[in-house]
Amino acid sequence: MLAGCDTPLSTLAPAGDSASAIAVLWWVMLVGATIIFVGVLGAALYPLISRRAGVALPEKALLVGGGLIFPAVVLLALLISALLVGDRLSPRGEPEVLKIEAVAERWAWTFRYPDGRTPTRDVLHVPAGAPFEVHVTSRDVIHSFWLPRLGGKIDAIPGQVNVIRLQAAEPGVYRGQCAEFCGVGHAAMSFTLQAHDPEDIP
């Protein structure tokens, strides 16, 4: 199963700050889910074990502790973790970054650059090691822009621009995919991001 964690579309093989934060959150959620699972399994098995041992906790303590306090503490910890990661991923009033326009249409992506470079189709060129923003919109139906090794998803909605900030830590090629079913060609609506050394951007 672990071999599937290192594929081109794996969120567990992060290659940027945003993706690393999301991967950490995934592990935190897995630990939380495991704790809740073990707790629920223990509560289910407790009557059998206590009957054989001849010892029983008061029902009220079991209900309040296991049914209220235990899940509330675990879920509160998970909520705080999610809010902290979400705050880290939000664009802020930071120094000027490269802003790229991504326009989705069935079943391709067009990328436009602010410095007069020729727009590219299904290939996004960015400098490695520097944050950049992708301003995402659509010409027809709702699509979803997703580079799993660099960050989360963001919807491409007709008539609306959504912004996601990403960063590729090192030069390389990263696969992206439309993550919103958009018709018969959805599965083939993929793209690649090429992160270059700053002096080698085409």
Pair 54, 122 in one domain: no
The pLDDT of residue 175 is above 80: yes
- The β-bridge partners of 158 are 138
Distance CA 147, CA 166 (A): 9
Q: Give the per-residue pLDDT at 106.
A: 92
Assess whether pLDDT exceeds 80 at residue 188.
yes
| Cα angle 152-91-105, degrees, rounded to a multiple of 5 | 50
Q: Do 124 and 32 sit in the same domain of this protein?
A: no
Q: Are residues 189 and 110 in the same domain?
A: yes
Instruction: Report d(CA 174, CA 16) in Å as an integer.
Output: 11
Bigger pLDDT: 92 vs 30: 30
Element (H, E) at 126: strand 123-127
Cβ neighbours, 10 Å, residue 15: 22
Shared-domain flag, residues 61 and 115: no
Are 64 and 140 members of one domain? no
What would the mean pLDDT of 140-144 be, rounded to a whole number?
95
Per the structure, the complete domain to which residue 68 belongs is given by: 2-89
Identify the weakest region by mean pLDDT among 37-46, 104-113, 166-175: 37-46
Give the model confidence (pLDDT) of 56-78 as tens digits.
666 677 777 777 788 888 889 88
* Tens digits of residue pLDDT in 82-122: 888 776 666 665 668 889 999 999 999 999 999 888 999 99
Output the pLDDT for position 116: 82
Report d(CA 63, CA 19) in Å as an integer: 39
Does residue 51 carry a pLDDT above 70?
A: no
CATH number, domain with residue 194: 2.60.40.420
Which of 38, 67, 89 is the last residue before a domain boundary?
89
- Percentage of the chain exceeding pLDDT 70: 88
Closest CA to 153 of 184, 191, 118, 179: 179
Rg over CA atoms, the chain: 23
User: What is the model's pLDDT at position 37?
Assistant: 85
pLDDT bucket at 161, cuts 50 / 70 / 90? very high
In the chain, how many domains are there? Answer: 2
Last residue of a domain, one of 70, 89, 108: 89
pLDDT, mean of residues 27-33: 86
Mean pLDDT of the chain: 84
